[in-house]
Amino acid sequence: MQLNLSLAIAGALVLVVGLVSEKMKHTIVSELMVSVTLGIIVGPMVLNIIEVQGWGDHHTIIEEAARITLAIGLMGVGLRLSPNDFRTLARPVAVVLTLGMLGMWLCSAALAGWIFDLPLWTALLIGAVMTPTDPIVSSNIVTGKFAKERLPARVRAALSLESGANDGLAFVIVLLPLLVLAGGEGTIREWFVTGILLGVGLAAVLGVALGASTAWLFGLAQRKGIIENYSVLTFTLALTIFTLGAARLLGGDALISVFVAGIAFNLVSDTGTKQEEENVQEAINHLITPPIFVLFGAALPWQEWQHLGWPILAFAAGILIVRRPPVFLMLFPLMRGHLIGRDLAFLAWFGPIGISGLFYSLFALSHGGDPLVWQVASAAVLASVFAHGASAAPVSRMVYRRKL
């Protein structure tokens, strides 16, 4: 019964939102805001139609759903980036992925530690979970007709590249406090091997190998005429799932592998398939994204928030202000070049917390982290979905007054 209800609600949402998706881009109501609101309504807080807490280990269900959603979203990001994006945006994105991530990590940790009076490494764990820029929410901001009319291509590419790369790199900074909190000897060595060598190094090599070889074989099969008229969708989805599973089996960070595989597939593919790659992947994003946010809305920890009281409200509001804008302001001199002042002002605000925050908070919970991490992360994600979703169209019009 619960499964059928969930499928019916998710399917109806995708159909309805799909009919007005372009119109919604021009308003203060986003697709994700509607999805979360619907989840809250059908969840225990209002109608109590969907009881996620009664599905067994609902945290694991949400974690794995978030992992798959992120993987498909990261593949989409990799497919829409061009070689020119890497050349022109290398410096500002490199700054964001190093000093920017470090700054967002420390600012978020400082806020969590101050508000909740936490030990250092618990605060650093919460800060690490808050650090990645979500590729799913970002895609809703930088894709579509409205975004192409209002946002310069360089801004859309910069946010896509940052959200794709730092989503996987966050594994490194999440893992460190988890290992320290777990105790034991050789923590730094274990972190270096598991997080750096396997998590990043092996994952990136695997992604390049799988993405490039799949694209080459796909092109070869087309030229030889030994393949049916399969859509690129078939291969990119299969590549996503294969890379996700292979990376986890080998001990690498699966999210880095999928993102790199998408980039490699894109760069090796012939020009004629690139538009199809982007179109089909964006279509899949619109199919899978609303259901995960409905699930999130139905699983919100209202009782835990009530127990925490005003600090959770203060953190949810404060994280939007403290986490990203001050860091970008300090790093502005290092990122000037291909990006201008208006671009950096826009990017300083739009660094949403979303599915990646959910995934890493539940990953931390499943590896012995404090339950507070999930409670805090879910509040931050809820605040980000509504704040960034409602401000996307107005801020885009304000910063970039003329259509491109």
DSSP 376: H
Least confident window among 146-150, 275-279, 347-351? 275-279
DSSP E strand stretches across 68-137: none
DSSP 229: -
What percentage of the chain exceeds 70 in pLDDT?
Answer: 92
Q: Given a cut of 60, is residue 272 above it in pLDDT?
A: no
CA distance 131 to 38: 27
Q: How confident is the model at residue 210 (pLDDT cuts 50, 70, 90)?
A: very high
Each residue of 8-20: pLDDT tens digit? Answer: 887 788 788 777 7
Alpha carbon of 107 to those of 165, 180, 355, 393: distances in Å?
A: 20, 20, 20, 27
Q: Which of 17-26, 239-248, 338-347 has the highest mean pLDDT?
A: 239-248
Q: Given a cut of 60, is residue 281 above it in pLDDT?
A: no
As a whole number, mean pLDDT of residues 52-76 equals 85
Between CA 298 and CA 77, with CA 286 as vertex, the angle to 5 degrees is 110
Q: How confident is the model at residue 274 (pLDDT cuts 50, 70, 90)?
A: low
pLDDT at 276: 53
Q: How confident is the model at residue 330 (pLDDT cuts 50, 70, 90)?
A: very high
Q: Given a cut of 90, is residue 402 above it in pLDDT?
A: no
As a whole number, mean pLDDT of residues 306-321 equals 96
Query: Hey, what are 4's tokens?
Result: 């059928």
pLDDT at 270: 66
> In the CATH scheme, what is the code of domain 64-293+305-399?
1.20.1530.20
Question: What would you report as the CA-atom Rg of the chain, rounded to the nearest whole angstrom?
Answer: 20
Give the start-to-end residue ranges of the domains of the chain. 64-293+305-399
User: Helix or strand or coil: residue 198?
Assistant: helix
Query: Hey, what are 90's tokens?
Result: 């290398």
State the amino acid at position 211 in one-letter form: G
The dihedrals phi and psi of 106, each to the nearest 5 degrees, come to: -70, -40
Q: Which of 70-79, 83-92, 170-179, 182-191 has the highest mean pLDDT?
A: 170-179
pLDDT at 375: 96
- Predicted TM-score (pTM) of the model is 0.92
